[in-house]
Structure 1
Amino acid sequence: MRIRLVAATAVAAGTLTALTAVPAQAAEYDSALKIRGIQYDAPGRDSNRCSTGNTDEEYLTIKNYSRSTTVNLKGYVVKDAAGNKFTFTASHTLQPGDYVKLRGGNGSDSDANNVVYRDNCNFMWNNDKDTIYVYKPSGSRADVHSYTKSGSDPDGNGYITYHG
């Protein structure tokens, strides 16, 4: 874990009065469940028509990085900066090292195929910039990442990897 040192000085005396260790990005590391990557810009021209659109090509990959703990996704919430959200309402278990792709559009959820559909044909992620939040059922944050198309996606393919 990286430690950031914060020094406070006494204003009048100009002397060092405290030295405190503060974990850098501590909230990111208190959960086994993390964002592995995001296909924020579905290939092709965006179309949110349920029958012929490509919202199912937009997806968020969430992975269980634990070496020993199985995680049930029921009650986990995924949100974006605008407040669009998806709540896992059914039990989907992720074994250590396992992942799930949360896809837009409609389809059949499958633990065997590692996929859950949002059952919503609207795009969730912005193509220029956004922030992705994952919350535990308790309401505490499991992971968060922001992206910009120009700064986070150097090859311009619409996919960004976070925790490899």
Structure 2
Amino acid sequence: MRMRSAAIAVALAAGTLAALTTAPTAQAAEYSSALKIKGVQYDAPGRDSNRCSGGNTAAEFVTIKNYSRTTTVNLKGYVVKDAVGNAYTFRNNHYLQPGDYVQLRGNYGTESDAKNVAYRNNCNFLWNNDRDTIKLIKPGGAYADTHAYTKSANDRDGNGYITYHG
């Protein structure tokens, strides 16, 4: 009886270990992509105004960087989402060379490889000023990177900007 219980315990432990080592997690997925969230200006400088003319939604942005040393990545089909599902999908070819970046901003404009910018074509703010989650999702649906933040824990200097991945 004792041998049988020990064998069951070993089998359960091995199954649990296998599940833990093979189950995908947001943290593991974060490092499976050359594209990562470099930083976020989650609180635009000044008083928030989401007016399309004269507002400051363009001053709120997320920076996505290609951390690969050798591979160019096309952003077409990548999605940026917040915690409640507000999303932006890169619809055009937008190539990031190794070490290159793009800033996804609020307000209206076009994607520009030359200026490293894309606009959400929406004057509403995407990121909450107190806490939110930023998700970068590959065209197939897998996570490329994700970060949750709170103003009190992650923005020590209070300037509304948080850096990830250096």
Q: How does 1:11-50 map to 2 (within 5 A)?
A: 13=6, 17=10, 18=13, 20=17, 22=21, 25-50=27-52
Q: How does 1:101-120 map to 2 (within 5 A)?
A: 101-120=103-122
Q: Which amino acid aligns with 2:54?
A: T
Deviation for aligned residue 1:110? 1.6
Residue number among 51, 54, 59 corresponding to 2:53 in the alignment: 51
Residue number among 43, 53, 77 corresponding to 2:79 in the alignment: 77
> Which deviates further from its counterpart, 105-114 or 68-77?
105-114
Deviation for aligned residue 1:109? 2.6
SS of the aligned residue for 2:125 comes to: coil
Please report the TM-score for the alignment, with normalisation by the length of structure 2: 0.86
The number of residues matched between the two structures is 154
SS of the aligned residue for 1:132 comes to: strand
Please report the TM-score for the alignment, with normalisation by the length of structure 1: 0.87
Cα distance in 1 between the residues matched to 2:51 and 2:111 = 20
Cα distance in 1 between the residues matched to 2:111 and 2:67 = 22
| Bigger Rg over Cα | 2
Alignment-derived partner of residue 153 in structure 1:
155
8 Å contact from structure 2 (residues 78, 89) kept in 1: yes
Q: Which amino acid aligns with 1:30?
A: S
Alignment-derived partner of residue 64 in structure 2:
62
Deviations 1:61-113 (A, max 9, x none): 00001111111001000000011000000110000110000000112432111
Q: Which amino acid aligns with 1:86?
A: Y
Runs (5+) with no aligned partner, structure 2: none
Q: Which amino acid aligns with 1:115?
A: V
8 Å contact from structure 2 (residues 105, 118) kept in 1: yes
Q: Which amino acid aligns with 2:129?
A: N
Alignment-derived partner of residue 7 in structure 1:
none
8 Å contact from structure 2 (residues 73, 95) kept in 1: yes
Cα distance in 2 between the residues matched to 1:83 and 1:107 = 22
Q: Per residue, is there more helix in 1 or in 2?
A: 2
Runs (5+) with no aligned partner, structure 1: 1-9
Q: Which amino acid aligns with 1:51?
A: S
Cα distance in 1 between the residues matched to 2:107 and 2:150 = 23
Q: Per residue, is there more strand in 1 or in 2?
A: 1
Q: Determine what percentage of the aligned residue pairs are the same residue.
A: 70
Alignment-derived partner of residue 135 in structure 1:
137
Cα distance in 2 between the residues matched to 1:136 and 1:66 = 16
SS of the aligned residue for 1:42 comes to: coil
